[in-house]
């Protein structure tokens, strides 16, 4: 196994990538402390521990030669599938779903890391595929299989939010794979046609209520979104100030620091603070795409595009559901939401991007 020394990595270190991610994580810790300091302050300590571990993983992944990661991509992918099967059989039942392995003080959610492992497998296939121009149905069979297996297993948990994310990441990657226009249009058409039977027969009752609440904001199922909108609106332009938000805290609001941290931030920092967060995310995503454009091989470029897509869709869906633009689906806000699985997955993904960045001029 080839590992580049830290001394060599240091001189090529992408500080722009690191500092932009660190800035978002710092704002996330600030926001988490404000949300939990008066009720569950131990969550803040746990998140700091997760972040420290994530930083170590970030550096560790960056020091590996990503060509080794490429060679092992299918092994990682197969391991991820095995974990998804295992969680369906032995996972902890929470809220009617099996999504986590209960390891005592730790709860591990395999569907989170499977997003990255699916990106690696797609990158490996597209890098090795001899057909580089005008991809059609014949060239889509393997990529569709690669994405369908984890998406189906995750949907069975049930976790349709993460399953949709994997499909959205796949679609974004395939946009860069030189698909024929008619093939791309057919994929979109099939997705639209499949939406109704999925809604009717695969969604659970509480999930259908979330979708119905999106179209009927006054219904009982729209309670979370209404409270989030109240908090966002009360923040106005400059916000109420750090630890001075009241709209969220005065109400029973589940998933405050996991799915709805943006509402806390918006109330305390207002429109101006929200723009700062969105600009930081935009900069980070664009920088990852810049690294993709400079990658020395197709695997590195595809993986960076996949990571950028993962970040974009997480941000878009989370903020969309908090602001009432999208149904509530339980998608986290990268580097800001509380949770070890989500945070470590993002750090692994960014570590791979750093890996590509460090080596883009090395060979």
The confidence score (pLDDT) of residue 71 equals 92
Q: How many residues does the chain have?
A: 363
Beta carbons within 8 Å of 10's beta carbon, 6+ residues apart = none
Tell me the C-alpha distance between 105 and 137, whole Å: 46
Please check whether residue 314 lies inside any domain of the structure: yes
Please check whether residue 38 lies inside any domain of the structure: yes
**Averaged pLDDT for residues 90-108:** 74
CB-CB neighbours of 157 under 10 Å:
21
Please check whether residue 118 lies inside any domain of the structure: yes
Per-residue pLDDT at 1 exceeds 50:
no
The confidence score (pLDDT) of residue 252 equals 56
**Averaged pLDDT for residues 162-168:** 90
- For residues 55 and 21, the answer to whether their CB atoms sit within 8 Å is no
How many CA atoms lie less than 13 Å away from 38 in the CB half-sphere? 9
Please check whether residue 124 lies inside any domain of the structure: yes
The confidence score (pLDDT) of residue 213 equals 57
The confidence score (pLDDT) of residue 225 equals 76
136 or 100: whose pLDDT is higher? 100
- Comparing 1-5, 58-62, 114-118, 122-126, the range with the smallest average pLDDT is 1-5
The confidence score (pLDDT) of residue 229 equals 83
Q: What is the pLDDT of residues 34-86, one digit of tens each?
A: 888 877 888 899 999 999 999 999 999 998 888 899 999 999 999 999 999 99
Q: Given the DSSP bridges, would you call strands 97-103 and 92-94 parallel, antiparallel or unpaired?
A: antiparallel
The confidence score (pLDDT) of residue 66 equals 84
What sections of 64-109 are H helices per DSSP? 66-71, 73-90
The confidence score (pLDDT) of residue 58 equals 95
- pTM tops 0.75, yes or no: yes
Nearest to 62, CA basis, from 15, 108, 127, 124: 15
Nearest to 356, CA basis, from 315, 309, 313, 305: 305
Beta carbons within 8 Å of 255's beta carbon, 6+ residues apart = 224, 330
Q: What is the mean pLDDT of the chain?
A: 83
Segment holding 311, helix H or strand E: helix 298-322
**342 φψ region: left (φ > 0), alpha (ψ -120 to 50), beta (else):** alpha
Number of domains in the chain: 1
Per-residue pLDDT at 168 exceeds 70:
yes
Nearest to 331, CA basis, from 256, 254, 258: 258
Tell me the C-alpha distance between 218 and 161, whole Å: 23
Tell me the C-alpha distance between 29 and 44, whole Å: 7
Q: What is the pLDDT of residues 205-235, one digit of tens each?
A: 555 566 655 566 666 656 777 788 888 888 8
Q: In the chain, what percentage of residues exceed pLDDT 90?
A: 43
What distance lies between CA 137 and its chain's CA centroid?
A: 28
The confidence score (pLDDT) of residue 22 equals 96
Q: What is the pLDDT of residues 315-346, one digit of tens each?
A: 999 999 888 888 878 789 999 999 888 999 99
Tell me the C-alpha distance between 218 and 310, whole Å: 32
Q: What angle do CA 306, 203, 212 make, to 5 degrees?
A: 100
The confidence score (pLDDT) of residue 142 equals 85
Segment holding 178, helix H or strand E: none
Please check whether residue 1 lies inside any domain of the structure: no
Q: What is the pLDDT of residues 264-274, one digit of tens each?
A: 999 999 999 99
Per-residue pLDDT at 88 exceeds 90:
no
Please check whether residue 18 lies inside any domain of the structure: yes
Please check whether residue 288 lies inside any domain of the structure: yes
Structural domain of 93: 6-359
Q: What is the pLDDT of residues 240-253, one digit of tens each?
A: 888 887 776 665 56
Q: In the chain, what percentage of residues exceed pLDDT 70?
A: 78
The confidence score (pLDDT) of residue 16 equals 94
């Amino acid at each position: 196994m080839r590992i580049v020394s830290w001394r060599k990595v240091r001189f090529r270190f992408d500080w722009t990538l690191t500092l932009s991610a660190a800035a978002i994580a710092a704002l996330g810790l600030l926001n988490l402390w404000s949300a939990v300091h008066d009720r569950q302050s131990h969550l803040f300590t746990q998140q700091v521990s997760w972040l420290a571990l994530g930083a170590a993983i970030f550096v560790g992944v960056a020091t590996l030669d990503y060509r080794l990661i490429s060679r092992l991509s299918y092994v990682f992918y197969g391991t991820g599938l095995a974990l998804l099967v295992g969680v369906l059989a032995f996972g902890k039942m929470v809220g009617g779903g099996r999504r986590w392995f209960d390891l005592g003080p730790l709860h591990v959610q395999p569907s989170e890391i499977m997003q990255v492992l699916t990106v690696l497998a797609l990158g490996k296939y597209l890098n090795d595929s001899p057909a580089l121009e005008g991809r059609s149905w014949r060239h889509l069979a393997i990529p569709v299989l690669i994405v369908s297996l984890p998406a189906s297993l995750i949907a069975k948990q049930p976790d349709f939010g993460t399953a949709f994310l994997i499909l959205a990441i796949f679609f974004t990657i395939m946009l860069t794979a030189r698909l024929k226009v008619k093939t791309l249009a057919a994929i979109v058409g099939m997705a639209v046609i499949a939406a109704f039977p999925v809604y009717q027969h695969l969604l659970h009752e509480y999930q259908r209520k979330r979708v119905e609440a999106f179209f009927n904001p006054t219904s009982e199922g729209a309670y979370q979104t209404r409270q989030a909108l109240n908090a966002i609106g009360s923040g106005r332009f400059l916000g109420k100030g750090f630890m001075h938000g009241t709209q969220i805290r005065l109400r029973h609001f589940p998933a405050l620091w996991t799915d709805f941290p943006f509402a806390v931030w918006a109330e305390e920092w207002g429109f101006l603070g929200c723009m700062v967060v969105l600009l930081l995310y935009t900069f980070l995503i664009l920088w990852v795409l810049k690294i993709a454009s400079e990658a020395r091989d197709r695997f590195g470029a595809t993986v960076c595009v996949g990571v950028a897509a993962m970040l974009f869709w997480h941000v878009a869906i989370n903020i969309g559901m908090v602001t009432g633009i999208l149904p509530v689906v339980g998608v986290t806000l990268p580097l800001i939401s509380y949770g070890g699985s989500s945070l470590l997955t993002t750090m692994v993904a960014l570590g791979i991007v750093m890996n590509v960045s460090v080596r883009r001029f090395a060979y």
